Amino acid sequence: MTATAISPLAGKHVVLGICGGIAAYKSVSLLRLLVKAGAEVQVVITPAGKEFITPVTLSALSQKPVVSEFFTANTGEWHSHVDLGLWADCMVIAPATASTIGKMAHGVADNMLVTTYLSAKSQVFVAPAMDLDMMAHPSTTANLALLRSYGNIIIEPDTGYLASGLTGRGRMEEPENIVKVLESWFAGRNDLAGRRVLITAGPTYEKIDPVRFIGNYSSGKMGYALAAECAARGAQVTLVSGPVALEAPAGVDIVKVESARQMLQACSEAFPAADIAIMCAAVADYAPAETADRKIKREHSEVPVIHLVKNPDIAATLGAAKKPGQILAGFALETDHEADNAAEKLSRKNLDLIVLNSLRDAGAGFGTDTNKVSIIDRAGRTDYPLKPKSEVAADIIDNIVSRL
């Protein structure tokens, strides 16, 4: 932002959550920058946070009493986390410690910060800060994944010198960059307002018998990240999801399906009203011709043969029904001849763009928190570096918005 430009944060109500970590010293700069950008900031600090930074500094800078406890001890005044949650245009938790991230992920509402988080109806940004081993611990990874699945935006930590004296990933993002993330979110958040978006995600399961199915490794993370991004940008989102272990992102209508045929049915119902459809699901191409109604037993004298039939191609079916003005995006998951295969699918399925990801790229495709994609359309190809799926989703939606 230049000195004269008005920040998109001007006039916004920001709840700044501060946890007990050494990076809390950076929260002072963050608060200063938010106030300078014109935001009205209410600081909520955990009891441990007050050990690292004094509330006097924070209330002087925010021009508001800092909230930390449910009650003010001497007056008995109650601080309503519900009112704060409703007041906020956004909440940013910086630094977010492993402990608070865990509490937020699992709804452990034992302090003012976490209760405010649980009451917040607005976008929540989380800027983790911790030592490298805590950052790399599977519980931290799993808890952050849960927060992402709730629609929270994780402002990824940097790699560098840490307060412990070690060097690694866990440094809280610099306050200037956190402000930039908030500004760009407020600047762009409404670019899908009034638009309806249909997204498919996850695998399909094609039943063999009551205990077995044909499926694949899709976790749903990419499709759910797209749904969260579209909802954050004001769209009305219908997410048709195969069986996954993720929570629906905030503000998204979810339709849970199992098989490709069920997915086609749900998509056919939602597509006519959609402005944008993004086919991110890994749909099984084949299904057993018949589903046994009892478990197929091992005692067969011969190995059973499962006859397969072709599943409907959902993307191609929507492509054939597409009306002018509708944008249809597909994905291509390839292992070889990537660009040629993607271009063939773009044309055969009548897509407007196709997002190519290759299983040959480390960190891309199934199950990972990251992806590396290229967006291909009839005009050419744009390559993107490996990024968290939330950021890949933002790139894809930016590309689609530019076509509206």
Catalytic residues: 216
| Enclosing H/E stretch for 167 | strand 167-171
293 DSSP assignment: S
Angle at alpha carbon of residue 207, lines to 201 and 213, rounded to 5°: 75
Would you state the structure tokens that stand for residue 9, as one six-digit string?
A: 């944060």
Would you state the structure tokens that stand for residue 202, as one six-digit string?
A: 């996850």
Nearer to ligand PMT, 207 or 345 (CB): 345
Q: How far is the CB of 122 from ligand PMT (least distance, A)?
A: 26
Q: How far is the CB of 349 from ligand PMT (least distance, A)?
A: 6
Binding site for ligand PMT (CB under 6 A): 200, 202, 218-223, 260, 279-283, 285, 311, 313-315, 330-333, 345, 357, 365-367
Nearer to ligand PMT, 90 or 279 (CB): 279
Q: H-type helices in 43-126, by residue range?
A: 49-52, 55-62, 81-87, 98-106, 112-119
Spatial distance between the Cα atoms of 344 and 278, rounded to a whole number of angstroms = 17
Spatial distance between the Cα atoms of 85 and 62, rounded to a whole number of angstroms = 18
Longest C-alpha distance within the chain, in Å?
82
Spatial distance between the Cα atoms of 105 and 114, rounded to a whole number of angstroms = 10
In the beta sheet, which residues pair with residue 198? 238, 277
Q: H-type helices in 127-242, by residue range?
A: 132-136, 138-149, 175-188, 221-232
Peptide bond into 95 cis (omega under 30): yes
Q: How far is the CB of 229 from ligand PMT (least distance, A)?
A: 14
Burial class (CB in 10 A: 0-12, 13-18, 19+), 161: exposed
Residues 276/327, Cβ–Cβ less than 8 Å? yes
Nearer to ligand PMT, 179 or 222 (CB): 222
Nearer to ligand PMT, 231 or 332 (CB): 332
Q: How far is the CB of 200 from ligand PMT (least distance, A)?
A: 6
Kind of pairing between the strands at 373-377 and 236-241 = unpaired
Q: How far is the CB of 230 from ligand PMT (least distance, A)?
A: 16
Q: How far is the CB of 357 from ligand PMT (least distance, A)?
A: 5
Nearer to ligand PMT, 33 or 396 (CB): 396
Nearer to ligand PMT, 17 or 223 (CB): 223
